[in-house]
Amino acid sequence: MKLFDVYPLFDIEIERGKGCNVWDTKGTEYLDLYGGHAVISVGHSHPRYLAALQEQASKLCFYSNSVINSLQQQLADRLGKASGYDDYQLFLINSGAEANENALKLASFHTGRKRVISFGKAFHGRTSLAVEATDNPKIVSPVNAGGHVTFVELGDIEGVRRELAKDDVAAVIIEGIQGVGGIRIPSADFLRQLREECDKTGTVLILDEIQSGYGRSGRFFAHQHADIRPDIITMAKGIANGFPMGAVLISPKFKPVYGMLGTTFGGNHLGCAAAIAVLDIFEEENLVDNAREVGRHLIDELRKIDGIKEIRGEGLMIGIEMEYPVKELRSRLIHDEKVFTGASGTNVIRLLPPLCLTREQADDFLTRFRRALANS
């Protein structure tokens, strides 16, 4: 059987990792400034994380949501405290796309409405309504194009007001920081205005923090820089450091009804153990503070480098926009300088390293990046 070939691949196979470094099958060491699309939050193969997985796996990996799983409540308690949302409710699933699907479904249940406002260059997933809310027609199939979503340019509050005035919008969904869209940051004023307009019209405000959340921006959630509280928050990626998990944080104003949401694998014992271990490490190693401090240093130093069009970002979610396509530069970084980075569109390099990245490792990256630029 062949694999269904939908991923353009580097000719590299990674077989092990430690902290912010990975090694391929030939023994070559790389500095990981991408973390597998922002998934690796506490570092590769963290001993505390591995011990938690091994201990839980030796007892029970999975049983269904038809019985009590006290690990789910332990995770809810820890996550509420860490995020500042201890009065919200937690629903656990397996991925970011699932988180957004359930958030949008819940918003429609709550309002009785069908339409969704999303934003230019948004990415919310590749399934059903999540992909319809993603501003990339190439990945929206005819069955996904249901006419539910209206796109407004990021920052256009008047455009949002015009759509909300039609009184048929269930939800406004927005990323805390756009990742795939190029590390575009909605202004604090815009987020506050969205909150106000949603309140006025009884519309649900959903913050997609799947990539920008879990400490990456130097706050637990990126929207907390704007001092707002959404109705629903979605998360995944860094929540369990590579174990498949997603989550939805839900305001107390939403009342659960048996059967309205559901999942087979979501909130399984092994996943919860992984997620609790991540929060333990966050607390013990002050990783949110580290993301803020090391990220600020990286951004400050990158802005001193000639030849860069713009640096955007918060914490360890950073975009380096060039005046030209970055494909060759990324190739030099990975093949010559042994650094993994990501990309957004054609001209933006995306940095999403593990949150344990040290200042010394950041400086090492800067040296390699300058060298790659000089050889371009």
Which tens digit of pLDDT belongs to each residue from 238-295? 999 999 999 999 999 999 999 999 999 999 999 999 999 999 999 999 999 999 999 9
pLDDT tens digits, 340-350: 999 999 999 99
E strands, the chain, in order: 14-18, 21-24, 29-32, 89-93, 115-119, 149-152, 169-175, 204-208, 232-235, 246-250, 310-314, 317-321, 339-340, 342-344, 348-351
Q: Say whether pLDDT at 357 is over 80.
A: yes
In the chain, where are the structural domains located?
Answer: 14-46+286-374, 48-285
User: What's the mean pLDDT when you consider all of the chain?
Assistant: 98
Identify the pLDDT of residue 295: 98
Q: Which two structure tokens, joined as six digits, stand for 335?
A: 């093949």
pLDDT tens digits, 40-76: 999 999 999 999 999 999 999 999 999 999 999 999 9
pTM, full prediction:
0.98
User: 48-285: which CATH topology?
Assistant: Aspartate Aminotransferase; domain 2 (3.40.640)
Architecture of domain 14-46+286-374: Alpha-Beta Complex (3.90)
Q: Say whether pLDDT at 376 is over 80.
A: no
pLDDT tens digits, 7-36: 999 999 999 999 999 999 999 999 999 999
pLDDT tens digits, 105-141: 999 999 999 999 999 999 999 999 999 999 999 999 9
The angle formed by the CA atoms of residues 227, 286 and 21, to the nearest 5 degrees, is: 115
pLDDT tens digits, 198-251: 999 999 999 999 999 999 999 999 999 999 999 999 999 999 999 999 999 999
Cβ–Cβ < 8 Å for 132, 142: no
Residue 25's Cβ-side half-sphere holds a number of Cα atoms within 13 Å equal to 3
Residues 131, 89: Cα–Cα separation, whole Å: 25
Identify the pLDDT of residue 375: 86
Identify the pLDDT of residue 240: 98
